[in-house]
A = this chain, B = another copy of it.
Amino acid sequence: MKTDHRSPCPISSFLDLWGDRWTLIIIRDMLVGKRRFSDLEAGNERVPASILANRMKQLTELGVAKRVQYSERPPRYEYHLTDKGKALRPVLIAMSNWSEENLDDRWHTPDWFREGRGAPGRN
């Protein structure tokens, strides 16, 4: 994915980084409390593994997630959101609001998500 900036506009710059169909879905799942590749892969929308790997690399390079080893042997890694990543939550909430008000039959966004927490038991 190209991530360089088309203009100094903060909106277009945001879209240069996050303007695709998968990245913010991954962020959503991480805000909910998912950390592992297999967990993220198994989400509701079925991100293809090739895209997930690609995006995790990008998230890491951009400082929105950190790759952390959680097992020595076998070597295994998980991802933690940084503050920069956690700061994306208001954008996702604004998107939710629009969808709930303008599309039919969408799930209602849980209060714990709107209030800044992860899923109960995951957080």
A-to-B contact residues, CB < 8 Å: 6-16, 19-22, 24-25, 28, 44-46, 84, 87-88, 90-103, 105-109
Which of B8, B98, B105, B108 contacts A91, CB < 8 Å?
B98
Inter-chain contact B21/A99, CB cutoff 8 Å: no
Decide: A11 near B94, CB < 8 A? Known: A19-B19, A19-B21, A19-B24: no
- Closest-CB distance, A71 to chain B (whole angstroms): 30
Nearest-CB residue, chain B, relative to A95: B14
Interface of A is mostly: helix
Q: CA A72 – CA B95 in complex, angstroms?
A: 38
Complex contacts, A105 vs chain B, CB 8 Å: 8
16 A–B pairs (Cβ distance < 8 Å), ordered by A: A6-B46, A7-B44, A9-B28, A9-B107, A10-B95, A11-B109, A12-B25, A12-B45, A13-B99, A14-B98, A15-B21, A15-B25, A87-B101, A87-B102, A88-B98, A90-B94
Q: CA A92 – CA B11 in complex, angstroms?
A: 6
Q: CA A97 – CA B33 in complex, angstroms?
A: 23
Q: Which 6 interchain pairs have the tightest Cβ spacing? A: A10-B99, A14-B95, A10-B106, A19-B21, A94-B94, A6-B45
